[in-house]
Chains A and B, each alone.
Chain A
């Protein structure tokens, strides 16, 4: 009899626990064949592990590959919504893909937690959608952060900037405004378009020799990083700083001597010294036996943790109640504090991070080191660099 009572109590206890636990199914729509997409997924899974370990919320992930292309992403989202029947989607890494998803998202109405997609075009596309939470800074935040760095370089004596920009939407959007803003800081600017992936920069760089730029600033993709670094030396351009702004850097670039002294911008590096960052690094290393430089990993982690907090506060799997709680979330993250406010343009209602998360780094002796702003720098910027 005693045994029966013990078993009964145990069963009731477990049932009670189950009743107290809120379970939500979440679709994850990422380009998992890319380094950034894989890192983002790892971060999301790490965050979900932490949320689930708390016991009050259980997040079940349904992961699909967006193929880094609209043609693959739209059917993948449709499957998440109609077959897997999720109410919450984490995704939207690339701007072009996310822009293409704006129509289907509005059709199916999920709570959409956007991990990347910095383009203002995406901000415009989701301006009338109330369940859109954008964690990543917008492109104007990126520009503001870069301009702050360029201001410090101007104060350090830099006067001429040569901008190489790829002639697609990524590189050429807002280039005139950017040019104007640099000129407003006092710089003389020469801007030249190029075809990303062509590998042919010698002609443009040769022409820039007469301009004698202090800073060679290129806006393109990972495929352009090595050719620009190599051909800058080969034509004898000798800028004092090569500053790149690709969405991702090539694998193995840090081990290449040509990367030395090349600078760029990122939102996070493992060496960032705050408690949440250190905690993230420890957990990530424990789960994956490695650490990543990709800031999309902590971004995914932050999204999962914030979602867990919101579900717990909502005590419900209803997407609108979760959204209402998510809007109130305030938490420390590896990037710094997170809370949601309307975007600077007022187009979207829930914007997470802004320009304050960006830091400038420089490739030095085989790794990326934060060099700006001063309060987050691990070491001083090497200027002029040796190219």
Chain B
């Protein structure tokens, strides 16, 4: 029974960071309508911002969260304005090739600047443990989960309760009509893409605490984020948390209960994508 509970907790906590990465991606897909393959590289930049501030100025990664979000918002806004905006009317394949190119370019810039080595920050709380009865879990994953839920709650509130949020949702639903009502579509896109990158940056800071900073740190999480948004339905922000929990629980159960399951973890998200797409096609037919 303890093992089952521990597995459930492990899965749910892992879902926090997954949801954080995936919600940014869902925002880019849902509002701007672009599949951003460079989303993981925004997380990588966040991880390096955290690492550099820690090494250069001794700033704790938790304090870097806000700065990393701001930096990534600016990076996202510049990327949108300079690169994404010109291809918005282009075929989807062109858009995907562009974001794939941005991903490769950002990874290689990081390689040139920092090399291929793995770098770690050092905080007093990285190994901190919370114990409840016979169950124990890490404080950083728990904090990442709480942060993720909080940020996503704030995002839902913003989208559901504010005029700007209404405008974002309007643009997500129809690209032309909001313009007729005086909503600046391009500014909404810029805001959404910037927010998407900022969320990735925050996830990157958490990754620097829980894992490491390296040019490739974002890649694995991009793949998982794609599985999550496919499961949630492309652009469906409300489906992100349940989908992230489903994926993380599936991974935790496979790891714990399938012999040699640790090696199968990465296959789980492919299975999730396969099942979600097949089931959706079957339901529509």
Q: A206-B3, A226-B126, A256-B126 are in contact. Are A198 and B220 (CB under 8 A)?
A: yes
CB A229 to nearest CB in B, in angstroms, measures 7
How far in angstroms is the closest Cβ of chain A from B212? 6
Interface 9-residue window, one of B130-138, B167-175, B176-184, B271-279: B130-138
Whether the pair B265, A230 counts as a contact (CB closer than 8 A) is no
Instruction: Tell me which of B13, B120, B124, B131 contacts A253 (CB under 8 A).
Output: B120
Does A226 contact B115, Cβ atoms closer than 8 Å? no
| Residues 252-266 (chain B) with a chain A CB within 8 angstroms | 252-253, 255-256, 260-263, 265-266
Q: Which of A164, A200, A233 has the most CB of B within 10 A?
A: A200
Q: Answer whether residue A257 sits at the interface, using C-beta atoms and an 8 A cutoff.
A: yes
CB < 8 Å neighbour of B212 from A203, A223, A255: A223
Once the chains bind, are A223 and B118 in contact (CB under 8 Å)?
Answer: yes
Task: Tell whether, in the assembled complex, residue B119 and residue A192 are in contact, meaning their CB atoms are under 8 Å apart.
Answer: no
In the bound assembly, the distance between CA atoms of A229 and B140 in angstroms comes to 13
CB 8 Å contact bits of A193-219 with B (1 = contact, 0 = none): 111011111111011001000000000
Cβ–Cβ < 8 Å partners of B127 in chain A: 229-230, 233-234, 257-258
Nearest CB in chain B to that of A202: its residue? B10
**A35 on interface, CB distance cutoff 8 Å:** yes
CB nearest neighbor in B for A199: B211
Chain A residues with CB under 8 Å of B14's CB are: 200, 202
| B111 part of interface (Cβ distance < 8 Å) | yes
| Nearest CB in chain A: distance from B240 CB, A | 19
Which of A197, A203, A258 touches B220 (beta carbons < 8 Å)? A197
Contact A194 B256, beta carbon cutoff 8 Å = no
A222/B117 contact (C-beta < 8 A), A206-B6, A230-B140, A257-B122 known:
yes
Residues of A within 8 A of B266 (CB): 195, 198
A-B contact count (CB 8 A): 140
Say whether B121 faces chain A, with CB atoms less than 8 Å apart: yes
Which residues of chain B are near A233, meaning CB under 8 Å?
Answer: 127, 129, 138
The answer to whether A251 and B129 touch across the interface, beta carbons within 8 angstroms, is no
A167 contacts which chain B residues (CB < 8 A)? 262-263
B55 contacts chain A at the CB level, 8 A cutoff: yes
The answer, among A210, A231, A236, for a CB contact under 8 Å with B131, is A236
Question: Quick one: which of B138, B252, B261, B263 contacts A234, CB cutoff 8 A?
Answer: B138
Shortest CB distance A366–B (Å): 10
Contacts of A157 in B (CB 8 A): none
Verify B126–A235 contact, CB threshold 8 A. no
> Which A residues are CB-close (under 8 A) to B210?
199, 227, 230
Q: Which of B230-277 contact A (CB under 8 A)?
A: 251-253, 255-256, 260-263, 265-266
Q: Are A195 and B212 in contact (CB under 8 A)?
A: no
Q: Is the CB of A223 within 8 A of B214?
A: yes
B7 within 8 A of A: yes
Determine if A370 is an interface residue (Cβ-Cβ < 8 Å): no
Chain B positions within 8 Å of A194 at CB level: 262-263, 265
In the assembled complex, A169 has its CB within 8 A of some CB on chain B: no
Asked whether any CB of chain B lies closer than 8 Å to the CB of A34, the reply is yes
Collect the chain B residues with CB atoms within 8 Å of residue A174's CB: none
| Residue A360 CB within 8 A of the other chain | no
Which residue of A34, A193, A206, A231 contacts B117 across the interface (Cβ within 8 Å)? A34
Q: Is residue A252 within 8 Å, beta carbon to beta carbon, of the partner chain?
A: yes
User: Chain B: which residue is nearest A236 at the CB level?
Assistant: B136
The contact size tier of chain A is 35 or more
Report the Cα distance A257→B128, complex, angstroms. Answer: 11
Residue of A nearest to B54 (CB): A252
Contact among A68, A203, A231 for B251, CB-based, below 8 A? A203
Q: Which of B119, B220, B261 contacts A250 (CB 8 A)?
A: B119
Is A124's beta carbon under 8 Å from chain B?
A: no
By the criterion CB–CB under 8 Å, are A234 and B129 in contact?
yes
* Assembly CA distance A206 to B136 (angstroms): 10
Closest CB of chain B to A173's CB: distance in Å?
14
Task: Find out whether the CB atom of A252 lies under 8 angstroms from the CB atom of B220.
Answer: no
B116 CB within 8 Å of chain A: yes
Q: How far is the CB of B133 from chain A (nearest CB, A)?
A: 12
Give A31 to B115 CA distance when docked, in angstroms: 10
Known: A35-B117, A226-B211, A233-B127. 20 other contacts (CB 8 A): A68-B116, A194-B262, A197-B216, A198-B266, A200-B251, A200-B265, A202-B137, A202-B252, A203-B251, A207-B256, A225-B120, A226-B126, A227-B212, A229-B127, A235-B137, A251-B118, A251-B120, A252-B121, A256-B121, A256-B122
What are 29 residue pairs bridging A and B, where the CB atoms are less than 8 Å apart in the complex?
Answer: A194-B265, A195-B266, A197-B216, A200-B14, A202-B252, A203-B11, A203-B252, A203-B253, A204-B256, A204-B261, A204-B262, A206-B6, A207-B255, A222-B118, A222-B212, A223-B211, A223-B212, A225-B120, A226-B126, A226-B211, A226-B212, A233-B129, A234-B141, A235-B10, A250-B118, A250-B120, A252-B121, A253-B120, A257-B127
Q: Identify the 4 closest CB pairs spanning chains A and B, nearest first.
A: A203-B255, A234-B138, A193-B263, A167-B263
Chain B residues within CB distance 8 Å of chain A: 3, 6-7, 10-11, 13-14, 55, 111-112, 115-122, 124, 126-127, 129, 131, 136-141, 207, 210-212, 214, 216-217, 220, 251-253, 255-256, 260-263, 265-266
Q: A residues touching B (Cβ–Cβ < 8 Å)? A: 31, 33-35, 38, 68, 164, 167, 192-195, 197-204, 206-207, 210, 221-223, 225-227, 229-231, 233-236, 248, 250-253, 255-258
